[in-house]
Chains A and B, each alone.
Chain A
Amino acid sequence: CTALESKDEL
């Protein structure tokens, strides 16, 4: 997944 999608944490 893209770097953006991997940002699911605060």
Chain B
Amino acid sequence: MNIFRFLGDMSHILSFVILLLKITQGKSAAGISLRTQELYMIVFCSRYLDLFWNFSSLYNSFLKVVFIACSSAIVYIIRFKSPQKDTWNPELDNFPIQYLIGPCAVAGLLINQDWTPFEMIWAFSIYLEAVAILPQLFLLQKQGEVENLTSHYVAALGAYRGLYLMNWVYRYFTEDDYLQRIVWFAGTVQTGLYIDFFYHYYQSKRGGLSRPVKLP
């Protein structure tokens, strides 16, 4: 464990807290992509299958349960709970996620760390997480302006993987046999997708944290 990874996990937890607060207190899922939340639920449920046999630390196991529970709760609330479900707009949030899931599944089958079913599913979840934010970014692009809490949610989510990148660099230089090309590649792509958002987020928040983010 190192500070970058710890801050990355805290930033990830913060993104869940912000989103759960927004949809439960704000009673609205406007501006939030259900498609992205469904992808995250698939990512965590598939990646953390090893919860039952790969016990590397209590910290890991606890957060795996938290991430599966939170992502499932978010999908449930936006899909089934009133009044949130009425604030989700399927016409706007219509990114074809099958074009993300399909290629990631093929990539997971072909490029993984070991030829066991779990490793293929694990690699699939890593690739899928890298592109899971796309429906959300497309929704924000369509709306042009990003509501305040949503912008903090996306920023925390981007920061989490950005901090993980620093964690991988740190581990690469401090540990001798540390090699994780799959997560390095996917994590770089994932963080790269946020660059544009971060630029607009920084520009808008310079004048005050509660200003909405404007996307071109």
B210 at the A interface (CB under 8 A):
no
Instruction: Point out the residue from B63, B116, B119, B177 that lies within 8 Å of A10, measured CB to CB.
Output: B63
Determine whether the beta carbon of B50 is less than 8 Å from that of A7: yes
User: Which single residue of chain A is at the shortest CB-CB distance from B183?
Assistant: A9
Taking CB as reference atom, which chain B residue is nearest A2? Answer: B114
Given the complex, which residues of A lie within 8 Å of B57, measured CB to CB?
8
Chain B interface size range: 20 to 34
Collect the chain A residues with CB atoms within 8 Å of residue B67's CB: 10
Interface of B is mostly: helix
Chain A residues with CB under 8 Å of B164's CB are 9
B98 within 8 A of A: no
* A10 with B9: CB separation less than 8 A: yes
Interface SS of chain A = loop
In the complex, number of A-B residue pairs with CB atoms less than 8 Å apart: 31
Distance between Cα atoms of A4 and B116 in the complex (Å): 10
Q: Which residues of A contact B177 (CB under 8 A)?
A: 1
A2 to B118, CA, bound (A): 13
Kindly state whether residue B64 has any CB partner on chain A within 8 Å.
yes
Cα-based distance from A4 to B118 in the complex (angstroms): 9
Interface size on A, residues (CB 8 A): 10
The reply to whether the CB of B35 lies closer than 8 angstroms to some CB of chain A is no
Of B12, B56, B63, the contact of A8 (CB 8 Å cutoff):
B56
Among A3, A8, A9, point to the contact of B113 (Cβ < 8 A). Answer: A3
Question: Does B180 belong to the interface (CB within 8 Å)?
Answer: yes
Instruction: With A2-B114, A3-B113, A3-B114 as known contacts, state yes or no: A8 contacts B119, CB within 8 Å.
Output: no
Judging by beta carbons under 8 Å apart, are B64 and A7 in contact?
no
Whether A9 lies near B54 (C-beta < 8 A) is no
Residue of A nearest to B178 (CB): A6
Pairs across A and B, CB under 8 Å, 11 listed = A2-B114, A3-B116, A4-B114, A6-B113, A6-B180, A7-B50, A7-B56, A9-B60, A9-B167, A9-B183, A10-B9
